[in-house]
Structure 1
């Protein structure tokens, strides 16, 4: 019996399907055993990947960690494990950049078991069915009700900033990897965030996306969060009111829904002995029948496009998938160079402090740019 130690994140979306798969009788009969540990969401977002790979055979990670992982030589490239043709087929079947986001330095480094991006969460029972489409409409609803919340805790202040910049026509660091965002776009995005934050309910100020969605399901003081990572579980929660999920806001009708890709992938650490049984299990998790059936039925959020388009899956989960698929297809992929995660942490803290003190935009945008360049250089990018 081959026994592997594995780590995922502590939420039903990140854990339940993996743990259930490991308990299947057919899995036990294959001669493979996987023990899944859990870590809090905050640890998942910031814990050094090399340390995790030294302790675990399989590690669930977010794509911005791949530059750090490559620098630490702690993950196996998927092409080495499965072959380039298999990876190309999976990439073609995945929704949006779910697998492409794990490509760095010429290889892919994790299988995208889970797909997610920032979308709009709305208590439509409290908005008379109205759902904003543009950022102007979000601002108007905020001014009218005082019940529109920004997600700013942890890394989410800078993630919201990146998403709005993408909606405003300037995906950060896309045109020039050395320039995070132009001063003009940066100022427009920051001023929008500053305005919305001035009326954002204090009850969710310190909460991560899970906390915000839990709060929205149970309380009526937040009727809309325009950018929050989608959790299908809250479209049909066990407690509270269902939350309607829709595409992220656009600068104008017909424009790009600005959103920063999230989701998770399963990485194979260098310490892991790759056997035929392990390869079969991982490819089984990525198969259409599992992505459409097994994973959604165990509170997971699949990564194959076929699952997001499936009528039965959408009927079970309040049309979560079909209502947000456009946003995921167009999601912005963050930089993945070594050092990006440290930048993300510092930049979010900077933005929160700036919003709390109503600091002027030009100085904040310059500080963000300087910080971004420093971390690129520190990570070995030139």
Structure 2
């Protein structure tokens, strides 16, 4: 069998380790390949399904998957019920669409805070503290598309108005207008090259020996960087700063799920592996030990898993449990790509809030496939 995931220790190493154990248990070998984070987010899934038996995906792809018919749905079983019951937040639900389960969560993430405990005692607790760190040249934030859009989503949620993923208008103009103004403030106090940085690039910059960067207020958590010795400086993680009436709620849900190609020759075996690797015992055991960031509650509550990551999971769980589920209808991924480019230009030019939010809503409506929204 063959599998495709994303090229980072968190994405590849635990699957390689799990596959080795799978062979020891009598299963078929699995050869894994990996793509860059940007390629992972944009490469056509139907093409991957022709080449690989197992594919790690993002949940916003599921509407497109239903239309293309390129993945095999999981049948409800007792093992899947255990995985569903162990979902961290809406991770399991995020891969359920049109009445079927298209992937199983093996990685849970949302935008949280991160800081370098060697340089700062605690993460900023207010918007003023965030901006003050920025003015001092000690703040980072990944704004490379689509991460600025993810931060806009999260800010909307914190301000009490998460985007309406199933309605006729994605953004509430008043809430999103305020969120956009804050995003402009944030962009003005971080380094200009933030527009070219994804989360991995920010973490690498923060952990460099000569870096002054102390914190980032909105970033997808990476448990690897919380481990001692992974990089010259360890990263600590925390729930979002409570910037509005919703507190830590509203972070844009991320993470990944493992899916089975409907076009491969090993559907039954691939399905068995996917269900096994997503189970609580594997997630809390060898998957976490191999540097993975599990999607199962059993791992998030495990004392050893937390100890090895300096309480990464315990420190960010409240944000994960209250994270917002992005739209998943067919057409959303095209919207996300174009909206991210639109927002990137708006931030660069300092475009007015009302016009920017209106343009985003118009773009969303042009891609919305209401018949497939669930």
TM-score class, shorter: over 0.9
| Cα pair 2:157 2:246 within 8 Å, conserved | no
Match of 1:220 in 2: 211
Q: C-alpha separation between the residues in 2 aligned to 1:16 and 1:290?
A: 14
More deviation, 113-122/249-258? 249-258
| Cα pair 2:328 2:373 within 8 Å, conserved | no
Q: C-alpha separation between the residues in 2 aligned to 1:31 and 1:313?
A: 26
Question: CA offsets, 1:330-350, max 9 Å, x none?
Answer: 111100001111111111111
Match of 2:100 in 1: 107
Question: CA offsets, 1:14-42, max 9 Å, x none?
Answer: 11111122223x61562512111111111
| Cα pair 1:147 1:199 within 8 Å, conserved | no
Misfit runs of 4+, over 6 Å: 378-382
Residue 300 of structure 2 is aligned with which of 304, 308, 320? 308
What is the deviation of 1:146? 3.4
More deviation, 46-55/372-381? 372-381
Match of 1:67 in 2: 63
What is the deviation of 1:369? 0.5
Equivalences for 1:138-287 in 2 at 5 Å?
138-143=130-135, 145-174=136-165, 177-218=167-208, 219-236=210-227, 237-252=229-244, 255-273=247-265, 277-287=269-279
Match of 2:91 in 1: 98
Residue 40 of structure 2 is aligned with which of 30, 38, 44? 44
Q: C-alpha separation between the residues in 2 aligned to 1:213 and 1:29?
A: 36
Match of 1:87 in 2: 80
Q: C-alpha separation between the residues in 2 aligned to 1:264 and 1:292?
A: 16
- CA gap of 1:275–1:179, structure 2 versus 1, over 3 A, is closer
What value does the CA root-mean-square deviation take over the aligned residues? 2.1
- CA gap of 1:338–1:213, structure 2 versus 1, over 3 A, is same
In structure 1, the residue corresponding to 2:319 is in which secondary structure? helix
In structure 2, the residue corresponding to 1:94 is in which secondary structure? coil
More deviation, 314-323/233-242? 233-242
- CA gap of 1:356–1:201, structure 2 versus 1, over 3 A, is same
Q: C-alpha separation between the residues in 2 aligned to 1:130 and 1:56?
A: 44
What is the deviation of 1:259? 1.1
Question: CA offsets, 1:90-110, max 9 Å, x none?
Answer: 111121111110011111100
Residue 124 of structure 2 is aligned with which of 116, 121, 132? 132
Question: Any stretches of 5+ residues in structure 2 without a counterpart?
Answer: none
Q: C-alpha separation between the residues in 1 aligned to 2:370 and 2:275?
A: 36
| Cα pair 1:249 1:258 within 8 Å, conserved | no
Q: C-alpha separation between the residues in 2 aligned to 1:21 and 1:320?
A: 22
